[in-house]
Amino acid sequence: MLERRLLLATVLFALTAAAPAVAADMPGVTKTEIKIGNIMPYSGPASAYGAIGKGEAAFFKIVNENGGINGRMINFDSLDDGYSPPKAVEDARQLIEQDGVAFIFNSLGTPSNTAIQKYLNRKQVPQLFISTGADKWGNYKDFPSYRIEAQIYAKYILKEKPNAKIAILYQNDDFGKDYLAGMKDVLGDKYAGMVTEASYDTSEPTVDSQIVTLQGSSADTLLIAATPKFAAQAIRRVYDIRWKPFEFLTNVSISVAAVMESAGKEKCVGIITATYFKDPTDPSFKDDPGMNEWRAFMKKYMPDANMADANFVYAYGVSLTLMQVLKQCGDDLSRENIMKQAANLHDLELPTLLPGIKVNTSPTNYHPIRQMQLAKFDGTIWVGFGDVITGAGN
């Protein structure tokens, strides 16, 4: 469930429920194949996330070369929606009504997943491990989300700068607005006097004017709740106008390759985020068995890919999670059982997650990742600090 995240994350993975299907009904499944649908922004303003879909496609090559899952090959049917909700609806209809997939896996983006949710529920199609951590996918009081991530930042800001004047740049949709809600949860009545907001739409060419406006508010702290393209623009603009705020960046835009290198690494020094998976550029994971497993996968199946792009790490982890679900399903690959098993993961350890973080789901908790750690960019890598933070309701 992740807008690449989990919390987050987000982040974070998110899992949404479909109405029960008849157990004997197994669309998208034959004796030799499981057809899986996916929607990704390979083009458009969030095209940096296209690396996730490419990584997943490569991962399923491994699965198929090793005999598939429970004897069935994976047919990964991934379409481009350009981060456009109307196109996501078209893609979902094609995947379900024409291509006949069993379920939708890891479709990316709060706007796109929102657009297709009702249609998929009406068709009784599971929407598994969506790549968004928007609050709407779960109860924020119990489960991590973008809103919880913002709460973590707000608490840390109050601890380090009790009298901070906070500026927030946010995407004008449910994804961005969750960060406002999380900050309000912590700041309460102080919010109006402490925070200045500026929004952007994904159709805008830049966020330069918004950054200048926020600087003009005399804010000394900045939270950037933006997808990669706009996050990189914001970081560059902050640096170029010589504004030096206490700077925070949403977890969905922490890829060194997609964001920090694009913005200019020297312009990113000191930025703080929250994360849950291992940074592929961190030398402390040089000999880490889990990351060596991921590197071997990349070397064989994606030799020309940028190894600094954390989106590939994310793709590997979420794909492994899906494989566990399908293994638990056995020969019962009805949509009802797929959903049941996705909501019954217990202490699943993944090679790409930070130490101490495990995947758990239940019928009442659809957020697999419930822990994060703060990290600061040192000009080269993200350096974790403090303890792993566990969300409420665990």
pLDDT at 318 over 80: yes
Query: What pLDDT was estimated at residue 64?
Result: 97
Averaged confidence pLDDT in the chain = 88
Q: List the one residue out of 287, 293, 254, 258 whose CA is nearest residue 381.
A: 254
Amino acid at 352: T
pLDDT at 349 over 50: yes
Confidence of residue 5 (pLDDT cuts 50, 70, 90): very low
Distances in Å between the Cα of 157 and the Cα atoms of 123, 221, 266 are 44, 8, 23
Query: What pLDDT was estimated at residue 10?
Result: 29
pLDDT at 371 over 90: no
pLDDT at 342 over 70: yes
Query: What pLDDT was estimated at residue 134?
Result: 53
Tell me how far apart the terminal alpha carbons of the chain are, to the nearest angstrom: 17
* Sheet of strand 382-390: strand arrangement: 195-200, 166-171, 221-225, 246-249, 272-275, 371-377, 382-390
Strand partners, 385: 374
**Predicted structure pTM score:** 0.81
Residue ranges of domains in the chain? 146-275
CATH superfamily of 146-275: Response regulator (3.40.50.2300)
Confidence of residue 369 (pLDDT cuts 50, 70, 90): confident
Q: How many Å apart are CA 99 and CA 161, to the nearest integer?
A: 54
pLDDT at 4 over 50: no
Query: What pLDDT was estimated at residue 114?
Result: 86
Amino acid at 181: A
Distances in Å between the Cα of 330 and the Cα atoms of 66, 230, 323 are 17, 43, 11
Classify residue 216 by burial, with Cβ atoms within 10 Å: 0-12, 13-18, 19+.
exposed
Confidence of residue 8 (pLDDT cuts 50, 70, 90): very low
Q: Mean pLDDT over residues 282-289, rounded?
A: 94
pLDDT at 139 over 80: no
Query: What pLDDT was estimated at residue 133?
Result: 55
Query: What pLDDT was estimated at residue 146?
Result: 81
pLDDT at 385 over 50: yes
pLDDT at 90 over 60: yes
